[in-house]
Structure 1
């Protein structure tokens, strides 16, 4: 029976590895977006890949994840000519200044 135990151990290791690698594609925690005092969206464990679009423009973003964010005033995570993105660190909150306009999307900053 040693071979069946070895096979079971190997299967367990493979499954653990798959579970751990799947978690690396997500930011652990929440991104909370508000427009004024009104809650617009709460994203739990969002994917760290790609652009995330808010359903509407937001004035406040709380980054309660374990990864840093980049906030954009465009819906497609691009920086408009003459503009810039806003860096939001782990565990930080930020609100729009009137000169930039509302935030419409975010992506995760490269680590």
Structure 2
């Protein structure tokens, strides 16, 4: 019987390890995007790699994930000449300054 307990314990530990590894490719939580008071998009557990486009420009972003974001005014996560991006910490929100334009995309900051 002791060997069957060891096998069950090993399988349990391996399952937890696989689950934790799978979660590393996603940001746990939600990103809420609004244009004024109107909800534009809520993204749940997005992949942490690549550029993410909002379906339209947004004025307000809430970062309810466990990862830091970078917001961009371009749809392809680039900073145009003379433009800007904005770093958004875990659990923070940001309202775009009117002179900057609308937020059109985001990516996750390197940690």
TM-score, normalised with respect to structure 2? 0.91
1:110 maps to what in 2? 110
Distance 1:10 1:64 in 2: 34
Structure 1 stretches lacking a partner, 5+ long: none
* Superposed CA RMSD: 1.3
1:47 maps to what in 2? 47
Is 1:13 aligned with 2:13? Answer: yes
Q: Which moved more, 1:93-102 or 1:3-12?
A: 3-12
1:60 maps to what in 2? 60
Structure 2 stretches lacking a partner, 5+ long: none
Return the offset for 1:26: 1.7
Return the offset for 1:5: 3.0
